[in-house]
Structures are given as C-alpha cells and as structure tokens.
Chain A
Amino acid sequence: KNQVEQSPQSLIILEGKNCTLQCNYTVSPFSNLRWYKQDTGRGPVSLTIMTFSENTKSNGRYTATLDADTKQSSLHITASQLSDSASYICVVSLTLDSNYQLIWGAGTKLIIKP
C-alpha cells in the first residue's frame, strides 16, 4: 500500500533552535518528493521538490534530504523563527498507468515558542 508516514506528529521548540522532521514512505513507483508548509486554515505552500537522484535541496533556512534507498526524507529547519509555526507535510508522487498521483502524509505540527 502506498503510504507516507511522518514523525513526530507534533514538535515544540524555542525560537532560534534547529529541528528536523522525518518522512518515511512506501510509495512505488516513486516519482518525486515534496515538502509543503501549511499555516493553520490555509492552503499548503511548496518548500522543495526532490527527484530520485537528488540527495539534498535547500530553500533558505529549510534543507530537505532524500535517501531513495531507505525511502526516507527529512526536513531540517535552521534558526527557527516564530513564523515557522505551521504544519509541514511530506508528499510523495507516483505515476501509475499514466496517472500522476500525490500521496500525502498527515504532517508534523511545529510550534515555535519565544
């Protein structure tokens, strides 16, 4: 079954600290992996898109890693800010019978405290 699992479910850290969010997937055939940031009650906003051959991709203070062999990805946030408080969702895509599908994780709810 194609699934995306994220951990932890929620995380509270102090402003200025770093954190790492985890994503494990069992999606096949793999097409690419995306990380989204979703503020409460708003639509998701894309942070990174990674293909099979990419190991690391950065977007400002966000750095995503991908290990296609172990089917794991992580999102590292450096020097957290209050505005980083949001849900972070890992999305793995596959192409099956010419149909492109997105398999969404449940997200990690990150709270940054001053």
Chain B
Amino acid sequence: DAGVTQSPTHLIKTRGQQVTLRCSPISGHKSVSWYQQVLGQGPQFIFQYYEKEERGRGNFPDRFSARQFPNYSSELNVNALLLGDSALYLCASSTSRLNKNTEAFFGQGTRLTVV
C-alpha cells in the first residue's frame, strides 16, 4: 500500500510568486493536515481538512489556503511568497478527524525554497 505521497519533493520559487503543493493521503484516510517545518524547529500546524471541509486552522496569514477534493487528496496554496516561507511542508493523513485515538501518518514533505 502506498503511504502518504507529496509532490513535488523540491521546489524553488522567487519572492512574490505563488505555489501549489499536493498531497495524496493513504487509501481509506479521509483527513489531511498540513504543517510547515522551518529548519531546526518542530512542525507548525497550518490546516486540517476532513471530508472536504476545513476543520482547523493554525496561525498563518491568509496567503495560505488549502482545499480537499472528493478523492480526499489535498492542495496547499501559498500566494505572494516571502523568503520566510522557505520550509519543509508536511502533509499528514489520518482515518478520521484527528483526535486522541487516531494516528497521523506523514509524507516525506515538499522542500520549498524561496529566493
């Protein structure tokens, strides 16, 4: 069985551009969460989607948006990129809306570099 897959694996963008990151959850998983991990720090929660609806949002500006499709895959969009957006973007999938009893499985991440 395929795990959580993210694309692309690496990406270089210039300031002001827009980027779209993609995530396919594990088959049968209906929840996807997005995290930003700056080098040397732990992941920071951005969004959680469950059954195609936003179920949680972290402390990120409106330049960050996401959506979940009927097949439960998800896209994260970042507009007007800043140098500080350079990070590893992680996608996690879980069977249901994340709670104390569910396990989150992470993809390998997309390394975004903004120059």
Contacts and interface: CB of A to CB of B under 8 A. Distances in A.
Given A95-B99, A95-B100, A42 B109 contact: yes
Given A99-B56, A100-B98, A49 B43 contact: no
B89 to A, nearest CB: 10
Given A42-B108, A43-B4, A43-B109, A104 B44 contact: yes
Contact of B42 (A99, A100, A104): A104
Nearest to A39: B108
A101 interface: yes
A45 interface: yes
Given A43-B108, A43-B109, A44-B43, A100 B90 contact: no
Given A51-B100, A95-B100, A43 B90 contact: yes
- Which label, helix, strand, loop or mixed, suits the secondary structure of the B interface? loop
Contacts of A93: 100
A41 B55 CA distance: 27
Nearest to B40: A106
B109 A41 contact: yes
Nearest to B4: A43
Contact of B45 (A41, A51, A101, A107): A101
B30 interface: no
Contacts, number: 54
A51 B104 CA distance: 16
A18 interface: no
Give the size range of A's interface with the partner. 20 to 34
Given A43-B109, A44-B106, A45-B106, A89 B100 contact: no
B29 interface: no
Given A43-B4, A43-B90, A105-B42, A100 B103 contact: no
A51 B100 CA distance: 8
Interface of A: 4, 31-32, 41-46, 49, 51, 89, 91, 93, 95, 99-102, 104-107
6 interchain residue pairs of minimum CB distance: A43-B106, A104-B42, A31-B100, A32-B100, A100-B99, A106-B42
8 contacts: A31-B100, A41-B108, A43-B92, A49-B103, A95-B100, A104-B42, A104-B43, A106-B42
